[in-house]
A and B are shown apart, each in its own frame.
Chain A
């Protein structure tokens, strides 16, 4: 089955440690995205990538880093520079078709808690 997979589902991190969240898709989508969602809030864009080996900062990129070495994979690293990393992280992918089918498909999310 085609889809987008995030792992792990729950993640605990000690303050001061870097942690990497995995996102893999087998939908053959060119574009991939990382969002952060805080309780009762909307989705805020962290980073996105339109194509392999290229990515752009979103609205809240500080304290995060990404890579896009393969089309299928877009891992997100939450660094120790991120002051308030506890949140629900959502990865999405989308085709770059300029027609109508450009909706984003989401993984199930990773809940990161700093302890």
Chain B
């Protein structure tokens, strides 16, 4: 089982819709979790951290369920500019290893 798994998509979603991604992780020693966004041929950039209590940043909401070992990202009122690949990331506590999922591709359709 891969350490961090995501549905690769692509998700083709009309502008204005709500879309949700899930990600599962296998190592319960994982300490911190993040969602990154990567545009074509660019480096990944931090979208938001994921906290156990859930957190929201504008149209984006992230949730962490440690018992079930999954992380989610919800995007409301999607914009054309949200089209990108979204990477789920786990930072291991013990050895500082940072593991990326393969990413979920999102296409927002006009």
A100 at the interface (CB under 8 A from B): yes
Contact B98 A92 (CB under 8 A): yes
Interface of chain A residues 47 through 104 with chain B (CB within 8 A): 48, 50, 56, 58, 88, 90, 92, 94, 96, 98, 100, 102-104
Contact B98 A94 (CB under 8 A): yes
How far, in angstroms, from A45 to B95 measured CA to CA in the complex?
A: 13
Interface of chain B residues 81 through 98 with chain A (CB within 8 A): 87, 89, 91, 93, 95-98
B45 at the interface (CB under 8 A from A): yes
Q: For B101, what are the chain A residues with a Cβ–Cβ distance below 8 Å?
A: 42
B54 at the interface (CB under 8 A from A): no
> Which range contains the number of B residues in contact with the other chain?
20 to 34
Distance to closest chain B CB from A16 (angstroms):
27
Contact pick for A106, options B32, B44, B96, CB 8 Å = B44
Distance to closest chain A CB from B15 (angstroms):
24
Contact B95 A94 (CB under 8 A): no
Contact B43 A106 (CB under 8 A): yes
Contact B96 A100 (CB under 8 A): no
Contact B97 A42 (CB under 8 A): no
How far, in angstroms, from A100 to B75 measured CA to CA in the complex?
A: 22
Contact B96 A90 (CB under 8 A): no
A31 at the interface (CB under 8 A from B): yes
Whether A100 touches B45, Cβ cut-off 8 Å, given contacts A35-B100, A45-B99, is no
A-B contacts, 5 of them at CB < 8 A, read A50-B95, A88-B41, A96-B96, A103-B32, A105-B46
Interface residues of B (CB under 8 A from A): 31-32, 34, 41-46, 49, 51, 87, 89, 91, 93, 95-103
Interface residues of A (CB under 8 A from B): 31, 33, 35, 41-43, 45, 48, 50, 56, 58, 88, 90, 92, 94, 96, 98, 100, 102-109
